[in-house]
Amino acid sequence: VSGKTLNLGILAHVDAGKTTLTERLLYAAGAIDAMGSVDEGTTRTDSLALERQRGITIKAAVASFAVGDVVVNLIDTPGHPDFIAEVERVLGVLDGAVLVMSAVEGVQPQTRILFRALRRLAVPTLLFANKIDRVGASQDRTLAAISRRLTRAVVPLGSVTHIGTPSANYAPWSPSDQEFAARLASVLSDNDDVLLADLVDDDVSVTDRRLHRALVDQSHRAAVHPVLFGSAMTGAGTDDLVAAIVELLPVATADPTDLLSADVFKIERGKNRDRVAYARVRSGTLHTRDRVHIGARAEGKVTAIRVFDGGSSAERSSAGAGQIAKLWGLREVRVGDSITGSGDVAGGGEGGASGGREFRFAPPTLEAVVDAVHPKDKARLRTALGELADQDPLINFRHGAGGRDLCVSLYGEVQKEVIGATLAQDYLLEVTFSEARPLCVERPRGTGEALELLHGETNPYSATIGLRVEPALPGSGVEFRAAVDPRSMPLYLYKTAENFVGHMRQFIDETLAEGLFGWRVTDCVVTLHRCAYSVFDGPPSSRGPTSTPADFRNLTPIVLRKAVAAAETVVCEPIVRVELEIPTDSLRAVTAVLAGAPVEAASTTGDLTRLTTVLRVADANELQRALSPLTAGEGAMESTFCGYAPIRSGSASKRATASGE
Ligand SMILES: Nc1nc2c(ncn2[C@@H]2O[C@H](COP(=O)(O)OP(=O)(O)OP(=O)(O)O)[C@@H](O)[C@H]2O)c(=O)[nH]1
Ligand SMILES: [Mg+2]
């Protein structure tokens, strides 16, 4: 294991040119001999049949090239908002990112959402304005949109000639260009007081070289974002982009002698349908035949490793800190798992499961019931969805309607089609989907308690459990507290109090997956306030505890359901904050569609009006459909998930009144 690694995400709004750019970068760096094309379905990273048919990226894919002694692992991501969960997993393994936008369309809704996430995680990010060869491309408009809608902490590194024509080209500014140096100095000094003071004093120490060093340093720290222009299609500007990537983005830093830790961000099926995990090694070194912890859940043995190494991946006996490795042999691995050495303390990172999952973006807000066309396939469908859910963070399903229905959660209609096509292609399953409806949650209305006593008349199990359910702050999720003496816990079965509490937590999460109205129960505190196990006190030889794990596993859901029923629940549906930018002369027509929804902020500049409001998801979807006809195609809207609000009696299409969370 030698050299340096840079794990680079390529992110953008749908169709901005990520996959084409990935292909171009591989070609420019000599990793491939000929450029593939998205339109012909021949790129390296859009390798799935579905991606090639549709010309869109669905799954994140890794490719790599070398520049000098740096191996750049490119992760091409999907831009369609239905596949945002795929980007979510990738964000955690990046050293840097290129946020691509089109120099024609400029900053689009997903551009902002992605940029915000990159900023929050402080991922060093270059901005690349693509498609300068297309009619309508504009440098000034793109830069204005960036500083108005993304950030002012940007430095354009060059300019474009013949923009909007096939011969459009990009040329970097010369470091001695006075205007460029002045602009650079002004942006950099916003984050550097010493530089600012020297500039004010007109100090001779402010040289081109000093400015350049400050640019490198601030880009590495994600304090400023260099902007480059180019065309993935013609190759204009892409050599400069390669140079900027290796100079202005930081390489991975980690200690290969440290304890092993690796993050799984993608799972793919191998030739024998075995699981292949893509993991970024965070620290330490992973060897073939190593036994490892998979989250805190399972163990496994790595049977083979491939490492990305400029060009394609190559078989290796080990993968070191900073590298992205493909791992074979981990049968129980899921996306989001953290892998640690089996000699070390298991390092949490249980991801993948639907339980306490955290979203960097928004959670899915829709769901549909999926059903097999042929009744005999029902069981197989269940298994297939389970398998898909394990390898694919996009797919999340639950049993609705008391176990009769299979419900998949969704970000949108395209995702529904993709799941259908995947089931057909990979599992030969024909399915139908119900219309997507808002994915609701239930919150407790008040406090509820329930208790089942050992030997009690209504208690079919040999244990005592008392649980209390109380409402908690919106957005807080489920908290479990064990308010009993550890001596009352069946430690002879679970060894430690912590382990027992962990198991109880799991029973509770499973039970809360379906509340009184069939939705997940959340935003509550569950307290275990009574607990006892049964002790057989016959002759001394047979004296001792007799409750089994099954008693606790089976009794907990019974007691918890009673407690939830006593608390009662309120069904709440997802709401989104909607930002609208519309021609002022369409304001009336648009507000008519919003009837009733509170407009939080409105401002008019020139003939454009911007306003913000909060809508139920169903209404936001309706508005999205109505917007284009109402604004002659000029209106733009962006919605961000902002929580849940109690459903208005009867109809999910009523306007939101609550302000959410
Ligand atoms: N004229 C021109 N067209 C481009 C350029 N880059 C990409 N395209 C075209 O834009 C379309 C979308 O390109 P992709 O590379 O698939 O975009 P993407 O961002 O990967 O799209 P998703 O992965 O689906 O989000 C294709 O038709 C490309 O041929 C460019 O620089 N100039
Ligand atoms: Mg793509």
- pLDDT given at position 12: 95
| Cβ of residue 74 lying under 6 Å from some atom of ligand 1 | no
Closest CA to 234 of 161, 333, 141, 310: 161
Name the packing angle between helices 238-248 and 208-220 (round to 10°).
80
Q: Within 13 Å of residue 520, how many CA atoms lie on the same side as its CB?
A: 24
Closest CA to 450 of 554, 559, 565: 559
Q: What is the mean pLDDT of residues 547-559?
A: 95
Of the pLDDT bands very low, low, confident and very high (cuts 50, 70, 90), residue 374 is very high
- Find residue 403's DSSP bridge partners: none
**At residue 1, does pLDDT exceed 50?**
no
- Residue 332 CB coordination number (10 Å): 14
Of the pLDDT bands very low, low, confident and very high (cuts 50, 70, 90), residue 348 is very low
| Cβ of residue 19 lying under 6 Å from some atom of ligand 1 | yes
- pLDDT given at position 360: 63
**At residue 334, does pLDDT exceed 90?**
no
**At residue 242, does pLDDT exceed 60?**
yes
- Mean pLDDT lowest for which of 353-362, 407-416, 635-644? 353-362
CA distances from 556 to 58, 201, 499, 530 (A): 40, 72, 16, 12
CA of 130 to the centre of ligand 1 (A): 9
CA of 140 to the centre of ligand 1 (A): 21
- Mean pLDDT lowest for which of 173-187, 241-255, 325-339, 629-643? 629-643
Q: Whose CA is nearest to atom 12 of ligand 1?
A: 15
Cα separation, 72 vs 363, in Å, equals 31
- Mean pLDDT lowest for which of 4-18, 93-107, 264-278, 505-519? 264-278
Q: Determine which helix (DSSP H) or strand (DSSP E) holds 593, and give its type and residue range.
A: helix 587-593
Q: What is the mean pLDDT of residues 199-221?
A: 88
- pLDDT given at position 655: 35
Q: What is the mean pLDDT of residues 398-425?
A: 84
Q: Which two tokens stand for residue 160?
A: 């474009």
Q: What is the mean pLDDT of residues 558-579?
A: 95
Report the residue among 11, 14, 15, 23 best suited for mutation to probe ligand 1: largest number of ligand atoms under 8 A from its CB. Answer: 15
Residue range 482-501, pLDDT digits in tens: 999 999 999 999 999 999 99
Taking the CA of residue 20 as reference, the ligand 1 atom at the shortest distance is 15
Q: Which of 154-168, 170-184, 205-219, 253-267 has the highest mean pLDDT?
A: 154-168
Of the pLDDT bands very low, low, confident and very high (cuts 50, 70, 90), residue 18 is very high
- pLDDT given at position 2: 53
Cβ atoms of residues 69 and 93 within 8 Å = no
Q: Residue 79 CA: which ligand is closest?
A: 1
- pLDDT given at position 359: 56
Q: Residue 39 CA: which ligand is closest?
A: 1
- pLDDT given at position 652: 41
- pLDDT given at position 450: 97
| Cβ of residue 38 lying under 6 Å from some atom of ligand 1 | yes
Where do we find the tokens 């790595």? 302
CA of 647 to the centre of ligand 1 (A): 41
| Cβ of residue 137 lying under 6 Å from some atom of ligand 1 | no
Instruction: Select the more confidently predicted residue: 164 or 85.
Output: 164
Q: What is the mean pLDDT of residues 201-210?
A: 81
Of the pLDDT bands very low, low, confident and very high (cuts 50, 70, 90), residue 100 is very high
CA of 220 to the centre of ligand 2 (A): 26
Taking the CA of residue 14 as reference, the ligand 1 atom at the shortest distance is 25
- Residue 171 CB coordination number (10 Å): 14
Of the pLDDT bands very low, low, confident and very high (cuts 50, 70, 90), residue 170 is very high
CA of 627 to the centre of ligand 2 (A): 27
Q: Residue 80 CA: which ligand is closest?
A: 1
Q: What is the mean pLDDT of residues 398-424?
A: 84
Q: Which of 66-75, 269-278, 396-405, 646-655 has the highest mean pLDDT?
A: 66-75
| Cβ of residue 237 lying under 6 Å from some atom of ligand 1 | no
CA of 285 to the centre of ligand 2 (A): 32
- pLDDT given at position 351: 37
CA distances from 554 to 223, 437, 480, 487, 514 (A): 53, 32, 18, 21, 16
Instruction: Select the more confidently predicted residue: 126 or 297.
Output: 126
Report percent pLDDT > 70 for the chain: 94
Cα separation, 401 vs 451, in Å, equals 26
Cβ atoms of residues 333 and 391 within 8 Å = no
| Cβ of residue 233 lying under 6 Å from some atom of ligand 1 | yes
Closest CA to 325 of 259, 390, 264: 264
Q: Whose CA is nearest to atom 9 of ligand 1?
A: 17
Task: Report CA dihedral (580, 145, 83, 571) to the nearest 10 degrees.
Answer: -30
Instruction: Select the more confidently predicted residue: 644 or 393.
Output: 644
CA of 61 to the centre of ligand 2 (A): 10
CA of 436 to the centre of ligand 2 (A): 25
Q: What is the pTM of this model?
A: 0.82
Of the pLDDT bands very low, low, confident and very high (cuts 50, 70, 90), residue 393 is low
**At residue 326, does pLDDT exceed 90?**
yes
- Mean pLDDT lowest for which of 51-65, 200-214, 557-571? 200-214
- Find residue 98's DSSP bridge partners: 10, 126
| Cβ of residue 134 lying under 6 Å from some atom of ligand 1 | yes
| Cβ of residue 50 lying under 6 Å from some atom of ligand 1 | no
Task: Report CA dihedral (482, 402, 654, 478) to the nearest 10 degrees.
Answer: 10
Q: What is the mean pLDDT of residues 126-145?
A: 97
- pLDDT given at position 641: 87
| Cβ of residue 18 lying under 6 Å from some atom of ligand 1 | yes
Cα separation, 305 vs 291, in Å, equals 13
Cβ atoms of residues 16 and 130 within 8 Å = yes
Q: Chain-wide mean pLDDT for the chain?
A: 88
Of the pLDDT bands very low, low, confident and very high (cuts 50, 70, 90), residue 356 is very low
Residue range 263-300, pLDDT digits in tens: 999 988 877 778 899 999 999 999 999 999 988 778 89
| Cβ of residue 56 lying under 6 Å from some atom of ligand 1 | yes
Residue type, 208: D
- pLDDT given at position 651: 43
Of the pLDDT bands very low, low, confident and very high (cuts 50, 70, 90), residue 562 is very high
In 325-376, which ranges are continuous DSSP H helix?
Answer: none
Q: What is the mean pLDDT of residues 343-353?
A: 44
| Cβ of residue 44 lying under 6 Å from some atom of ligand 1 | no
Q: What is the mean pLDDT of residues 84-93?
A: 87
Report the residue among 13, 14, 19 best suited for mutation to probe ligand 1: largest number of ligand atoms under 8 A from its CB. Answer: 19
- pLDDT given at position 541: 75
| Cβ of residue 24 lying under 6 Å from some atom of ligand 1 | no
- Find residue 5's DSSP bridge partners: 71
CA of 391 to the centre of ligand 2 (A): 20
| Cβ of residue 39 lying under 6 Å from some atom of ligand 1 | yes
- pLDDT given at position 70: 92
**At residue 376, does pLDDT exceed 90?**
yes
Q: Residue 133 CA: which ligand is closest?
A: 1
| Cβ of residue 129 lying under 6 Å from some atom of ligand 1 | no
Report percent pLDDT > 90 for the chain: 54
| Cβ of residue 238 lying under 6 Å from some atom of ligand 1 | no
Cβ atoms of residues 550 and 625 within 8 Å = no
- pLDDT given at position 605: 77
| Cβ of residue 130 lying under 6 Å from some atom of ligand 1 | yes
CA distances from 635 to 15, 475, 615 (A): 19, 31, 17
| Cβ of residue 14 lying under 6 Å from some atom of ligand 1 | yes
∠ Cα 234 238 240 (to 5°) = 140
